[in-house]
Structure 1
Amino acid sequence: MSERSSAESATPGPVRLGFAVPQYGACADPEFIRRAGSDLEGMGYDSLWAGDRILVPLRPSDPYPGGNGEIPAAYSTFFDPLTALTLAAVGTSRVRLGTSTLNALWHSPVVLARTLTSLDLASAGRLDVGLGLGWLRDEFAAAGVPWQGRGARLEEALDLMEAAWTQDVVAHQGERWTVAPSRIDLKPAQRPRPPLLLGGFTPAALERIGRRADGWLGAAMPAAHLAGLWGTALGAAERAGRDPSALRMVLRVNPAITAEPAPADRVPHAGTIAQVGDHLLRLAAAGAHELFVDVQTSVTSPQQYLDIAHALITHVRAG
């Protein structure tokens, strides 16, 4: 167990920079997903990430957790995240492939574990499993999954997936799922399992991250708030007898890139390449181990997507 204070994290090295795979809106095209993965790897990105949406209600049950509360219109055309990462894996050999975040609760844990294992094998061990609880009750209703009790459901799902990934004989008797003693011999390329990252911003979510995950999938926010949430996860790891310095902080940034400088209070939600790139560098200095950018809510063409990706990594690497 590390003797570092739970308010501290590992000494940061060069920040890893990722980009969201072209998956929704104007970029939801399988041929472009395959090509863009190769292009992004060639630009020098360290990781590619895919999100998870299944519908956009005309009258949403819950406001979107960002901006003015309206769900981005681009979400109505949304390519399956694991299929998108599989396409990206085909044309790449180096970049990590992550989900941020996959809604684990819409799937049977045993079936999901098999799919993720298959993707880890297909990518030669490059998968980061990022899971979240979701925020839109309409999607849970459409998936036939209860909204209430999501935290406990995730805990049991994680128990079952861990067993499928790591145990020779898998057996489970829980409140929601039962697995008779069975052999599940398809195991991930990464041992004992792919890195597990969890999303969330509540104290319970951050405590769960510290207790049983390898890192946190967060979002760009003011430094003081970021430090407070991260401290909750680090403290939970220490209390659980884990090394808090081993946890990773991975932050998503969703900017609308503008030609003219945006007001300071709009950055990084909007801004020029220089403004957004400089903000990424500040997040790295604040302790983020990895950052990834998703511009799909605002781009109108695949070429614009690629142009922004190239300009952004050029600026950040020069900084």
Structure 2
Amino acid sequence: MAEAERSDGPRYGVSLLRVHPALWRDVAIEAERAGYESIWMSDHLMLPEEVDREKYPDGELPISSHSPIFDVMVHLAALAAVTTTLRLGTYVYQPALRHPFVAARAVATLDVVSGGRVELGVGAGWSEAEWDLVGVDFARRGELLDETLDVLDGLWTQKSFAYQGAHHEFPSVGFEPKPVQQPRPPLHIGGESAPALRRAAARGGGWIGMHHTPASVAAPLARLRAAERDSGRSRPLQTTVAAHQGAVDAEGWSASGIDRVIVAPWSRSGEALDGLRRFAREHIRPRSE
């Protein structure tokens, strides 16, 4: 099918966060049929039942420890098997919670089996409790993410690669197959803190923000553009945010300067397919051949 675009605004992706996993396959198929550009899945390894509530703004984790959690690369590979053009995004993957060999292999495998459709959103994570469970120092997550990204880049782009850092060290190794997308899948750095914005400007191809409205995204977008100027970037980052649940202000997003908006245009899982079709009819048109 033709790739989707908006003539006067952002590309639209679909969030799997607010729909029952039993419907993910049907949502992916319908999203591609209706002209959405991408589909996005979140990532966690484990969430504890008990947390220090003072460390979270609302006093609890945003998702329950009993919520269904899937391996993001495995499940996106399953969705790749039933689609042909839909981009496959992570919102966001936490590579620093894995050994970089594991993360590099998982991402490369998904890119190969999907024919080069990975959109790799990564972040340093927000759940200190999750990092505690894995036994990794949450306070050092930024530097660990930077080092992990260095290793991923080397494995994906060099015939042989050795590394020596504060957290990882190994002699020269080979890594095959390389990702289909070269030199690497599109890398979108997530987060709105000053370090996250600097990281995105310094090494990302894109930036992923939090859930926003067209009005609320203006402030972090302005900080991002300032970080780009400070870093001396010659090209602006591609920008992606998720729309707040509920009605999407398509006109507002068109004027926002955001390149991609991830939507979930339904209130309950049973309404997901109809919501996708309705939103597509109103806001998405296929690209002219």
Shorter-chain TM-score range: 0.7 to 0.9
Aligned partner of 1:18 in structure 2 is: 13
Q: Secondary structure at the match of 1:234?
A: helix
Structure 2 match to 1:28: 21
- Residue number in structure 2 paired with 1:316: 283
Superposed CA offset, 1:172-210 (max 9, x none): 001111120111132111111011001111111111111
Mind listing any 5+ residue stretches in structure 2 that lack a counterpart?
1-6
- Separation of aligned partners in 1, 2:187 and 2:63: 28
Between the aligned partners of 1:309 and 1:234, the Cα distance in structure 2 is 32
Q: Counterpart of 1:154 in structure 2: which amino acid?
A: L
Q: State, as a whole percentage, how many aligned pairs show the same letter.
A: 28
Match in the other structure for 2:253:
283
Q: Quote the residue 1:142 is aligned against.
A: 133
Alignment of 1:197-212 (within 5 A): 197-212=188-203
State how far apart, in whole Å, the 2-side matches of 1:144 and 1:203 are.
25
Which sections of structure 1, spanning at least 5 residues, go unmatched? 1-11, 256-270
- 1:313 is paired with a residue of what secondary structure? helix
Give the counterpart of 1:40 among 31, 37, 55. Answer: 31
Q: What secondary structure does 1:40 align onto?
A: helix
**Farther off after superposition, 135-144 or 90-99:** 135-144
1:305 aligns with 2:272: yes
SS of 2:233 mapped into structure 1: coil
Q: Given the alignment of the two structures, is residue 250 of structure 1 paired with residue 240 of structure 2, yes or no?
A: yes
Query: Counterparts of 1:70-149 in structure 2 under 5 Å?
Result: 71-73=62-64, 76-149=67-140
CA distance in 2, matches of 1:138, 1:295: 31
Which of 154, 162, 183 is the aligned partner of 1:171?
Answer: 162
Cα distance in structure 2, aligned partners of 1:74 and 1:281: 37
- Give, as a single letter, the amino acid of the residue that structure 1 aligns with 2:276: A
The structural deviation recorded for 1:63 is: 6.9
In structure 2, what residue type is equivalent to 1:307? Answer: D
The CA deviation at 1:18 is 0.7
Find the residue that maps to 1:76 and give its secondary structure.
Answer: coil
Q: Quick check: 168-177 or 227-236, which moved more?
A: 227-236
Q: How many residues align?
A: 279
Alpha-carbon offset, residue 222 of structure 1: 5.8
Q: Give 1:223-302 correspondences, 5 Å limit.
A: 226-245=217-236, 247-255=237-245, 271=246, 276-277=247-248, 279-294=249-264, 299=268, 301=269
1:64–1:71 contact (8 Å) kept in structure 2? no
Q: Could you tell me whether the CA contact under 8 Å between 1:234 and 1:244 is conserved in 2?
A: no
Q: How far off is 1:254 after superposition?
A: 4.1
TM-score w.r.t. the length of structure 2 is 0.86
**What SS class does the counterpart of residue 102 from structure 1 fall into?**
coil
C-alpha change, 1:241 and 1:129, in structure 2 (3 Å) is same
Structure 1: distance between partners of 2:213 and 2:244: 15
Deviation at 1:37, TM superposition (A): 1.6
Letter in structure 2 aligned against 1:15: P
State the Cα distance separating 1:86 from its structure 2 match.
0.7
How many angstroms apart in 2 are the aligned matches of 1:238 and 1:152? 22
79-88 vs 166-175, which moves further: 79-88
The two structures have a TM-score, normalised by structure 1, of 0.78
Q: Deviations over 1:190-241 (max 9, x none)?
A: 1110110011111111111111101111134365653332233333333433
Contact conserved, 2:9 with 2:253, CA < 8 A, in 1?
no
Letter in 1 for 2:161: V
Please say if residues 50 and 99 of structure 1, whose CA atoms lie closer than 8 Å, have aligned partners that are also in contact: yes
Deviations 1:124-170 (A, max 9, x none): 11101100111112211222222111111111011111101111111
In structure 2, distance between residues paired with 1:160 and 1:13: 39
Give the 3 Å change call, closer, same or farther, for CA 69–223 of structure 1 in structure 2. Answer: farther
Instruction: Encode CA deviations 1:271-317: one digit per residue, 9 max, x unaligned.
Output: 4xxxx13x243123111100012479x62x4x322222222222323
1:66-120 per-position Cα deviation (integer Å, ceiling 9, x unaligned):
8785634496122221122111100111111110011122111122011101101
Change (3 A) 1:78 1:155: same
Q: Contact 1:200 / 1:206 at 8 angstroms: preserved in 2? A: yes
Give the residue type in structure 1 aligned to 2:125.
G
